[in-house]
Amino acid sequence: MSDSVKVIYQDKSFEFPLVEGTENEVGIDIKTLRAKTGLITFDPGYKNTGSCVSSITYLNGEEGILRYRGYSIEDLCEKVSFIEVAFLLIFGELPTAKELALFNKEIREDSLVDEDLKTILKSFPKSAHPMGVLSSLTSALIAFNPNSVDVESEEDMREAIIMLMAKFPILASWTQRKVKGLPLNYANTALSYVENIAHMMFKLPHQDFKPSPVLVSTLNKLLILHADHEQNCSTSTVRIVGSAHAGLFASVSAGISALWGPLHGGANQAVIEMLEAIKADGGDTKKYMAKAKDKDDPFRLMGFGHRVYKNFDPRARIIKKAADEVLEELGLNDPILQIAKDLEQEALNDPYFIERKLYPNVDFYSGIIYRALGIPTEMFTVMFALGRLPGWIAQWLEMRKNHEPIGRPRQIYTGYNHREV
Ligand code: ACO
């Protein structure tokens, strides 16, 4: 195979080397393109643009493969917990028993936030969306922990990582407690990381709370499946903000805002809202299938399609199975679940969806599970953020350790030429 690519422009030939990954993915290294030719590339939405080399997550959208640090998500979901996956993503290997015990201990010890953060939370209206509140509170952590992080210092980095892993679930749960008007909970050091998420969200002041095994095992799976997804919109945001040497908390706060969008993580909430709307409109799924296919109608079938999966989303496969198990175990009979099943079947057999390779994505089923587990709709994207946190941290760390330059795309200007005022 040739190890370079020739570009011919104005009768001149220019050669550019290829970069090859460990899974044989090949890219053209165009770092010198503009200097040599005066040209730039034009790729809206970066559909063909590799922004970095990364050894964290391997994703093959055509074959439906997703692996973290070489381990398949199927294997990880079956054999390890979310906190072990977090360690794997951030530090590169699964933890030994001793490393895991230390990681958990450090997180437990740091599971407190400054009480003054409650004043900030209090100032939001109850109607504020939890994702907006979470982004603000994460950003506010900077003010309460202003020490700058030296990325070359293992100690500094570990401290920042532990701090964020420990405090983020507290802030996330508080966004829900605020909406519900409930007292704010802290973690219980006797519980695991995932049990604590459930504890902080659901524990009521006048009742004991023991997270059920089905809740904990399903949450573990969901969080693992959301933990990283290479250079998606929010992760690219985290990396690009961090590339200006903004701190970890500021970069993650920006990632939360990106994740909130309905074309990204916000889709899990949008799926349930769409299903509710179809139910309220008489439950006619065919009508909504027709709307989704009508080019004059902006409606899209939420939870279908994906930028990189042009085959079944492997996460959706695992979640679909988990959803079936959870619904059976909890004995739920929710009418919107039937609407979801009907839509899924119709879309999987419809030529429009088949031709465009539009399959149900992870968000189609995750919303259904969260609903079955009693998690309020407006918290779905916060759950996604809780899962994605280790991925954001790992990607930020890799970007800084690789000394990546500041992210700064170019443009093709199409405005006015010079004119006088
Ligand atoms: N419903 C109906 N038509 C769709 C849908 C959909 N959900 N998704 C894509 N299409 C159609 C487009 O109209 C387009 O049709 P055309 O070729 O006739 O013009 C074609 O399929 C390709 O769509 P694009 O928008 O070009 O695909 P892109 O890769 O840019 O978008 C995206 C991917 C944003 C996920 C899109 O499929 C979508 O909007 N889906 C619904 C929102 C959603 O579920 N998002 C969650 C993504 S998963 C995640 O973030 C974890």
Catalytic residue among 199, 228, 306, 313: 306
Ligand 1 site, residue 361, Cβ cutoff 6 A: yes
CA 17 – ligand 1 centroid, Å: 33
The answer, yes or no, to whether residue 265 has pLDDT greater than 90, is: no
- Mean pLDDT within 363-383: 88
Q: Return the best residue to mutate from 299, 358, 370, 380 for the ligand 1 pocket (most ligand atoms within 8 A of CB).
A: 358
Q: What is the pLDDT of residue 62?
A: 87
Dump pLDDT digits (tens) for 86-145: 999 999 999 999 999 999 999 999 999 999 999 999 999 999 999 999 999 999 998 888
Cα→Cα distances 206→167, 209, 268, Å? 25, 10, 31
pLDDT higher for 79 or 64?
79
Number of separate helices (H) and strands (E) present in the chain = 18, 6
Cα gap 72→44, rounded to integer Å: 31
**Ligand 1 atom closest to Cα of residue 229:** 51
Residue nearest to atom 4 of ligand 1 (CA): 300
306 counts as catalytic: yes
Q: What is the pLDDT of residue 412?
A: 97
CA 95 – ligand 1 centroid, Å: 38
Q: Positive or negative, the Cα torsion across 21, 398, 39, 415?
A: positive
Question: Confidence class of residue 321 from pLDDT cuts 50, 70 and 90?
Answer: confident
What would the DSSP string read from start to end of 129-175? Answer: -HHHHHHHHHHHHHHHS-PPP-TT-HHHHHHHHHHHHHHHHHHHHHH
CA 62 – ligand 1 centroid, Å: 16
- Which among 367, 347, 366, 343 is positioned nearest to 358, based on CA atoms? 347
Using DSSP's 3-state secondary structure scheme, residue 13 falls into strand
| 52-61, 306-315, 373-382, range with greatest mean pLDDT | 52-61
Burial of 5 (0-12, 13-18, 19+ CB in 10 A): middle
- Mean pLDDT within 338-345: 90
**Rounded to 5°, angle at Cα 141 from 136 and 147:** 140
Q: What is the pTM of this model?
A: 0.90
Catalytic residue among 129, 226, 264, 363: 363
Ligand 1 site, residue 385, Cβ cutoff 6 A: no
- Mean pLDDT within 58-82: 95
Q: Return the best residue to mutate from 256, 263, 362 for the ligand 1 pocket (most ligand atoms within 8 A of CB).
A: 263
Give 13's strand partners: 8
- Mean pLDDT within 173-198: 94
Mean pLDDT of the chain: 93
Dump pLDDT digits (tens) for 211-241: 888 889 999 999 999 999 999 999 999 999 9
Residue nearest to atom 27 of ligand 1 (CA): 307
Residue nearest to atom 9 of ligand 1 (CA): 305
Instruction: Report DSSP state, residue 80.
Output: -
